[in-house]
Structure 1
Amino acid sequence: MVNVRTEVVINLPRTEVAEYAANPDNAPKWYVNIHRSQRLTDGPLGVGSKAAFTAKFLGRELNYTYEFVEYVPGRKLVMRTAQGPFPMQTTYTWTDDGGGTRMVLGNSGSPSGFSRLAGLVMEPMIRRENRKDLQRLKSILESGQ
């Protein structure tokens, strides 16, 4: 079982941070390992929305689809994928922090086809990548890019 939680404070209003981070179209801009995203459902984002992502992890290209299973705009997003070697749930939460926003990024999952040892090795790697991603998000948003 992998359970990683990282957070960052971004010096912008919560609604602005949440709107940008929750939009799958922006994922390749701020996730270091994601290089392609595509919405699979039309209309506004909400529970049931799906997006496909292509990422590089451990030197391999991974294709996976996330489904929004919980979404409270400006507060919380929970996405889940069931396919692939590593079923994962990703949770974003946004809270006010002074004049800025505290964003928490959580990943949890149980690697299938991997040993428990692989999960132990992957957890610190995921944590390190998540820190990079949140710092990149902070940099993009605070610089107005």
Structure 2
Amino acid sequence: MAIIRESIDVDRRPEEVYQYVLDAPRMPEWQLSAVSAERLDEGPVGIGTQVRVSRHIGRRVMPLTMEVTEYDPPHSWTMRGIDGPIRARVHGEVEPYDEGRRSHVTIDIDFEGHGLGKVLVPLVVRPQVRKELPRNEQLLKDRLEHTGE
């Protein structure tokens, strides 16, 4: 199946957008399905950083562990699921424009199902994410532009 991709322009500098997006405890502020998120390790964010995210998937809340596999601030990042029946691969890019005062944010998401996840990914997860990702990006934009975060 095809990668789910959405983009949005944010009236904030790429450094600010990148820092906010990769701040694990803030994920529930702009990701509708995220119930909670926490770092599983200490120190600066980088390749190998792990985050436990509890998400609404359909009617259930499922904990999933994500690991940073690409970290190129403030330009791009990739995280991949390392456990559970539904394993996401999320790639994000933040491109500067307007002389670096604004950002064009693109997020790509794809999934791999394991066990029960092989059924859940096409029937529940992909349709949910297709609806949610544009709303998440709008929440990201609103949060960064209107709250001064």
Query: TM-score, normalising length from structure 1?
Result: 0.90
- Which amino acid letter does the alignment assign opposite residue 104 of structure 2? R
- Aligned twin of 2:82: 82
User: For residues 28 and 142 of structure 2, what CA distance do their matches in structure 1 show?
Assistant: 14
1:44: how far off?
0.5
In 2, are the aligned partners of 1:88 and 1:108 still within 8 Å (CA)? yes
1:97: how far off?
2.8
Q: Which blocks of at least 5 consecutive residues in structure 1 are unaligned?
A: none
User: For residues 41 and 32 of structure 1, what CA distance do their matches in structure 2 show?
Assistant: 24
User: For residues 41 and 8 of structure 2, what CA distance do their matches in structure 1 show?
Assistant: 30
Percent identity (aligned): 24
- Aligned twin of 1:106: 108
User: For residues 34 and 118 of structure 1, what CA distance do their matches in structure 2 show?
Assistant: 17
Q: Which blocks of at least 5 consecutive residues in structure 2 are unaligned?
A: none
When structure 1 is superposed on structure 2, of 67-76 and 1-10 the one drifting more is: 1-10
Matched, 1:131 2:134: yes
Number of equivalences: 144
Q: Which has the higher contact order (CA 8 A, sep 6+)?
A: 1
1:119: how far off?
1.7
The runs of at least 4 aligned residues of structure 1 exceeding 4 Å deviation read none
1:86: how far off?
1.3
In 2, are the aligned partners of 1:2 and 1:120 still within 8 Å (CA)? no
Q: How does 1:40-55 map to 2 (within 5 A)?
A: 40-55=40-55
1:2: how far off?
5.2
Query: TM-score, normalising length from structure 2?
Result: 0.88
